[in-house]
Amino acid sequence: MKRIFNFSPGPSVLPLPVLERAAAEMTDANGSGQSVMEMSHRSKDYKPIIEKTEALLRELMGIPAAYKVLFLQGGASLQFSMVPLNLAAGEKPGESRGAAYIETGIWAKKAAEEGAKYAKVRVIAGSKDRNYTYIPEAPAPDPDDAYYHITLNNTIVGTRWPKLPETASVPLIADISSCILSEPLDVSKFGILYAGAQKNLGPAGTTVVIIREDLIGHAPAWTPALLRYDIHAAEASMYNTPPCYSIYIIGLVLEWLKDLGGIPAITKMNQEKAGLFYDYLESSKLFRSPVDKNFRSLMNIPFVCQVDDAEKKAELEGRFVKEAAAAGLVNLAGHRLVGGMRASIYNAMPIEGVKALINFMDQFEKGSK
């Protein structure tokens, strides 16, 4: 068997031991005589699986008791609607509350646009003026705002917040889809954290929502049942059928992470991987990072060829992505809206993958001259 190095931004690489264990348990999980895919979500066989997954997430992230953990569907994108619906929407049109958003990338922009359907959204800062290559100063919210929304790691443009904004008593809400469990995070600083699973947690299909209990129960009466945090919380994510198999794989990923040494160990590994890659980009005459040094992501690293002629640049970058794929280094094309290249190096990407990529880039650079 030959495994490729997959630099996809999501769905993305999963730890090999997790895939091997899932394969071994595929037809008979825990001596139950059935696959996890076949289990009723309310059965005695499945209950311990979801409970263990939640307990591991709480332990690894240090989630305080006053927060609920929900396993939902609809992707991180549905949280763009659920957050304003549950926190700011009014019983009648025109009665919605204010909400502050910081526009640090394309997902942050989408969150604000969707939020504006249910809340009085104000985008109070952003970095579009320089193609989102930095994180702006974060202004204080209006004290009456229902919440303050940020995207902690910007997957497409490769930036991350170096420190959290001060929001006083206004709840801070963060999309942590592409950085959950990659480094320490003080959950108690947030009102809601949410993440699509398909990057650092497991396969697509689950969205993890971590919500402070006092923020539950404020949705207007007209809110669809499936979009209400209070209903999901009261039913422990079992109001309807949850994404059972995806939650099971998340549990295996969390066990893998705990065995590695949890957040302290993975932080060190992520810093080492990203450090190697950024150091290489700094030393390269062909490739460079477009992102300001203070705001560079540990997880998603965009890079471009430093060639003035636009046509030559596009040709070189296209050839790079193609030749890298032929060498087993796949999914390196940048997002369709920004171009260039991007290496997503999530928790499960081994350091060998990063070294192989650097080596390939070095060879490509020598050959391109």
Ligand X SMILES: Cc1ncc(COP(=O)(O)O)c(C=O)c1O
Stretch binding ligand X (CB under 6 A), from 170-178, 243-251, 327-335, 347-355: 170-178
Which lies closer to ligand X via its Cβ, residue 176 or residue 358?
176
CA–CA gap between residue 160 and residue 117 (Å, rounded): 27
Binding flag, residue 35, ligand X (CB under 6 A): no
CA–CA gap between residue 229 and residue 192 (Å, rounded): 11
Which lies closer to ligand X via its Cβ, residue 295 or residue 360?
295
Are the CB atoms for 131 and 338 separated by under 8 Å?
yes
Stretch binding ligand X (CB under 6 A), from 69-77, 228-236, 317-325, 347-355: 69-77
Minimum distance, C-beta of residue 150 to ligand X, in the bound complex (Å): 11
The residues in 212-271 that bind ligand X, with binding defined as CB under 6 A, are: none
Which lies closer to ligand X via its Cβ, residue 196 or residue 353?
196
Minimum distance, C-beta of residue 348 to ligand X, in the bound complex (Å): 16
Closest CA to 352 of 289, 273, 287: 273
Binding flag, residue 175, ligand X (CB under 6 A): yes
Binding flag, residue 12, ligand X (CB under 6 A): no
Which lies closer to ligand X via its Cβ, residue 69 or residue 180?
180
Binding flag, residue 280, ligand X (CB under 6 A): no
Binding flag, residue 10, ligand X (CB under 6 A): yes
Q: Which residue numbers are catalytic?
A: 107, 175, 199
Which lies closer to ligand X via its Cβ, residue 39 or residue 99?
99
Stretch binding ligand X (CB under 6 A), from 25-33, 90-98, 120-128, 173-181: 173-181
Minimum distance, C-beta of residue 132 to ligand X, in the bound complex (Å): 12
Minimum distance, C-beta of residue 151 to ligand X, in the bound complex (Å): 5
Question: Would you say how long the chain is, in residues?
Answer: 369
Which lies closer to ligand X via its Cβ, residue 305 or residue 345?
345
User: Per residue, what are the HEC states of the chain?
Assistant: CCCCEECCCCCCCCCHHHHHHHHHCCCCHHHCCCCHHHCCCCCCCCHHHHHHHHHHHHHHHCCCCCEEEEEECCHHHHHHHHHHHHHCCCCCCCCCCEEEEEECCHHHHHHHHHHCCCCEEEEEEECHHHCCCCCCCCCCCCCCCCEEEEECEECCCCEECCCCCCCCCCCEEEECCCCCCCCCCCHHHCCEEEEECCCCCCCCCCEEEEEEHHHCCCCCCCCCHHHCHHHHHHCCCCCCCCCHHHHHHHHHHHHHHHHHCHHHHHHHHHHHHHHHHHHHHHHCCCEECCCCHHHECCCEEEEEECCCCHHHHHHHHHHHHHHHHHCCEECCECCCCCCCEEEECCCCCCHHHHHHHHHHHHHHHHHHC
Q: Using CB under 6 A, which of 178, 284, 297, 347 touches ligand X?
A: 178
Q: Using CB under 6 A, which of 76, 291, 332, 341 touches ligand X?
A: 76
Which lies closer to ligand X via its Cβ, residue 75 or residue 328?
75
Minimum distance, C-beta of residue 335 to ligand X, in the bound complex (Å): 9
Q: Using CB under 6 A, which of 35, 45, 73, 75 touches ligand X?
A: 75
Q: Using CB under 6 A, which of 155, 246, 289, 331 touches ligand X?
A: 155
Residues forming the site for ligand X (CB under 6 A) = 9-10, 75-77, 107, 151, 155, 175, 177-178, 196
